[in-house]
Structures are given as structure tokens and as C-alpha cells.
Amino acid sequence: MASHVRTERHTAARNTILFWLAGVILFAGIGILLTYHALRDSSLYANTMTPLMSERDQTRPASTLKAVRVRPQTDAAADIARAHSSAVASAKSDAAPAPDAPASPAAETPAPETAPPPPAAQ
């Protein structure tokens, strides 16, 4: 009976160690893979003789670029632009205080009256 228990303990310990070892190997492999990918394009591995652009692209733009024609401004767009500039102007004039107005609205309103404190208990 005692040898049977000892065998189960040894089996459990061996499985625990193997499981732990597999986890360490897995995480080490993932770490090495991530490190390799992070350093792959760095100056450590980069080939300094490879140009970033070809000589043809350095002298003239790539042929895949096409010219874009700008549409003239329509009446609706002009109306929106005028409304926007008008709204901005009115917001600026509303934000600026009038010269004869008080500096702050709090100075205009009287402070609320407070009740006197109750007498101290002895």
C-alpha cells in the first residue's frame, strides 16, 4: 500500500515538473520570436546597402500618382461658408463684454443674507 502511494506522488511530481518545463519552453520560445521580430528591421539586422527609394523614384514621382481636379465652389458651399463665418463673428462679439458693462455678473447680484449662528450650548 505504501509503495502504491509513493508511486502516485512521484507521478504527480513528475507531471508537475514536466508541465512547468513545457510552460517555460513555450514562453521562452514566444519571447525569442517576439524579440526576433522586433529586431528584424532594426539597424542591427538592416542591410545598409539597400536604398529606401529607387533612383527613378528619387528623380521623378511614381507613375501611380494621378492628378486630382478640384471642383469649383458651389452656391450651397458658399452659403455654408458665409453662415459659418457669420456664426463665428457673432460668437466672438457675444463673448467680448461691452465696455460699459460690469466686469463680472457676480458683482451685480447682492450676496445672500446669512442667518446669525445659534448660541453655544453650555
Assigned domain for 107 exists? no
Count of structural domains, the chain: 1
What whole-number distance in Å separates Cα of residue 69 and Cα of residue 76?
19
Cell of 22: 513545457
Q: Is the backbone of residue 10 left (phi > 0), alpha (psi -120 to 50) or beta? A: alpha
Each residue of 36-81: pLDDT tens digit?
A: 888 776 665 566 666 666 666 666 666 676 777 777 767 887 788 8
Q: What is the pLDDT of residue 8?
A: 85
Q: Choose the weakest-confidence range: 48-52, 82-86, 92-96.
A: 48-52
Residue 37 in any domain: the answer is yes
Q: Look at residue 93 in the predicted model and tell me its pLDDT.
A: 79
Residue 102 near residue 108, CB atoms below 8 Å:
yes
Type of residue at 20 = W
Give domain status of residue 64, yes or no.
no
Taking the C-alpha atoms of residue 10 and residue 4, their distance in angstroms, rounded to an integer, is 10
Residue 115 counted as domain residue: no
